[in-house]
Amino acid sequence: MTAYILEWLNLLFRWFHFVAGISWIGTSLYFVWLDNHLTPPENLADRTHGVSGELWSVHGGGFYHNQKYLTGPVGQPLSPNLHWFKWEAYWTWISGMGMLAIIYWVGASNYLIDRSVMNLTPWQAIAISIGAIFAGWLVYDALCKLLGRWPLALGVAVYAFLVLAAWGLFHVFGARAAYIHVGAIIGTIMVANVAHVIIPGQKKMVDAIRAGRSPDPVPGQLGKIRSVHNTYLTLPVLFIMISSHYPMTYDNPFGWLILAGISLSGVLVRYAFILSHKGKLVPALPIAAFLILAAIAVAIMPRGAGPTKPIAFAQVQPIFAQRCAVCHSAHPTQPGFAAAPAGVLLDTPQHIAGNAQRIYQQAVATQAMPLGNVTGMTKAERVQIAGWIASGASLK
């Protein structure tokens, strides 16, 4: 019953996280687009009132006129009806941490720990998980304060830090968990930028305007810098959110380096979009991103040796029963599973044969399964499975 309740909590938090993430990222992408499409105001009176840019647009059967006041309105009151874009970010992080707790902390033995990487107890793994996430924000924030005057150097330093974090996490947790924790570090950096820099800076400016003082532009400028960081982190964190479906990317000795390459390609694509907003088309950026992804695809391509000797199903059936069916069955016996992961059943010969190619990809090519190798599948057993599949995956 406990596993069944956790399965429902997983579903609800994942759904919540997905919706909140769309709201936050959609808003973020829109405002970056809007900021890059603003033009100087045509009305002189608007300029004197502090308007720094404007945009006319049409959507959903109506016309919209957006105006940006860099440091608030001049000579006129600030509207009390002021919307703060913050809860989209906060709920995304809260729901994401809820998912992390339900899946990776409650199910630490199955999802977080890989004893072939590091032999941890669940509480040790959870403590490292929490510490790594919050340490990530502290290091990032320190880098921003140290290198904030040199944007390029700061960008390189932050990227290098995240790559180092990925490398470190790959030497502590299972590969899938390592990827998710890099995403959790990035997500925490993004939401902390909102909560500790962007929103407080905007509140200072609002308080000054409503008190009749000229606002200090520095908090707004710092918020803008952190907002730019967030937009470049968007595509890498989105990839990590879907990465668990693609073990070919994370389940190999250089998974951390693959994550670094894919993330870099995402940053290049995002930069290309930002430049296109300003009317600058730089084909070299998406081409470079494609070449990085192509190089990764070639580098991790299965080389597939495998035995030439035919393997009968009778030789591998005990392996599936002992290593796979404990989770992948109609009624799993492995603690923590209320239903077969991804709905894949491997509890009958027909189910096994029907999933032969999936088995090859996940148990042989990437060795992503069993998850965290919780059932202890050996290298010799993987070779036997490869031989059976190479022999035609026959049930004879």
Residue where one domain finishes, among candidates 276, 299, 322: 299
Does the residue 263 lie in any domain?
yes
Q: Are residues 20 and 94 located together in one domain of the fold?
A: yes
Q: Are residues 149 and 239 located together in one domain of the fold?
A: yes
Task: Point out which residues pair with 68 in neighbouring strands.
Answer: 53
Dump the DSSP string for 49-104. TTEEEEEEEEETTEEEEEEEETT--SSSPPPS----TTHHHHHHHHHHHHHHIIII
Does the residue 77 lie in any domain?
no
Q: What is the structure's pLDDT at 349?
A: 84
Please give the tally of structural domains in the chain: 3
Residue where one domain finishes, among candidates 274, 299, 324: 299
Does the residue 130 lie in any domain?
yes
Structure-model confidence comparison of residues 54 and 116, the more confident one: 54
Q: What is the structure's pLDDT at 116?
A: 84
Task: Read off the pLDDT of residues 211-242 as tens digits, 9 standing for 90 and up.
Answer: 888 888 888 889 989 999 999 999 999 999 99
Task: Read off the pLDDT of residues 56-102 as tens digits, 9 standing for 90 and up.
Answer: 999 988 999 999 998 888 888 888 888 899 999 999 999 999 999 99
In whole angstroms, give the CA distance from residue 67 to residue 56.
9
Where does the pLDDT of residue 18 fall: very low under 50, low under 70, confident under 90, or very high at 90 and above? very high
Residue where one domain finishes, among candidates 273, 299, 325: 299
The helix-helix angle for 217-242 and 199-210 (nearest 10°) equals: 150
Q: Are residues 254 and 132 located together in one domain of the fold?
A: yes
Is residue 204 within 8 Å of 196, Cβ to Cβ?
Answer: no
User: Does the pLDDT of residue 368 top 80, yes or no?
Assistant: no
Q: Are residues 11 and 49 located together in one domain of the fold?
A: no
User: Does the pLDDT of residue 108 top 80, yes or no?
Assistant: yes
In whole angstroms, give the CA distance from residue 337 to residue 345.
13
Mean pLDDT of 136-165: 95
Task: Read off the pLDDT of residues 245-259 as tens digits, 9 standing for 90 and up.
Answer: 888 898 888 999 999
Does the residue 395 lie in any domain?
no
Q: What is the structure's pLDDT at 1?
A: 55
Q: What is the structure's pLDDT at 358?
A: 84
Q: Counting runs of H as helices and runs of E as strands, what totals does the chain give?
A: 15, 2
8-state DSSP, 148: T
Q: Phi and psi dihedrals of 154, rounded to 5? A: -65, -45
Q: How far is CA 96 from CA 196, 265, 320, in A?
A: 19, 24, 33
Q: Are residues 226 and 290 located together in one domain of the fold?
A: yes
Q: Are residues 280 and 353 located together in one domain of the fold?
A: no
Q: Are residues 277 and 350 located together in one domain of the fold?
A: no
Q: Are residues 335 and 368 located together in one domain of the fold?
A: yes
- 131 C-beta neighbours (distance < 10 Å), count: 10
Mean pLDDT of 99-115: 90
Q: Are residues 145 and 180 located together in one domain of the fold?
A: yes
User: Does the pLDDT of residue 345 top 80, yes or no?
Assistant: yes
Task: Read off the pLDDT of residues 264-290 as tens digits, 9 standing for 90 and up.
Answer: 999 999 999 999 988 899 999 999 999
In whole angstroms, give the CA distance from residue 256 to residue 273.
26
Does the residue 308 lie in any domain?
no
Does the residue 37 lie in any domain?
no
Domain that holds residue 56: 42-69
Structure-model confidence comparison of residues 189 and 339, the more confident one: 189
Does the residue 14 lie in any domain?
yes
Mean pLDDT of 367-393: 82
Helix (H, G, I), strand (E, B) or coil at 265: helix
Nearest Cα to Cα of residue 245 among 344, 166, 333: 344
Give the predicted TM-score (pTM) of the model. 0.85
User: Does the pLDDT of residue 305 top 70, yes or no?
Assistant: no
Structure-model confidence comparison of residues 167 and 10, the more confident one: 167
Q: Are residues 247 and 323 located together in one domain of the fold?
A: no
> Above pLDDT 90, what percent of the chain?
55
Mean pLDDT of 327-341: 80
Q: Are residues 232 and 290 located together in one domain of the fold?
A: yes
Lowest mean pLDDT among 131-135, 244-248, 374-378: 374-378
Does the residue 79 lie in any domain?
no
Q: Are residues 218 and 337 located together in one domain of the fold?
A: no
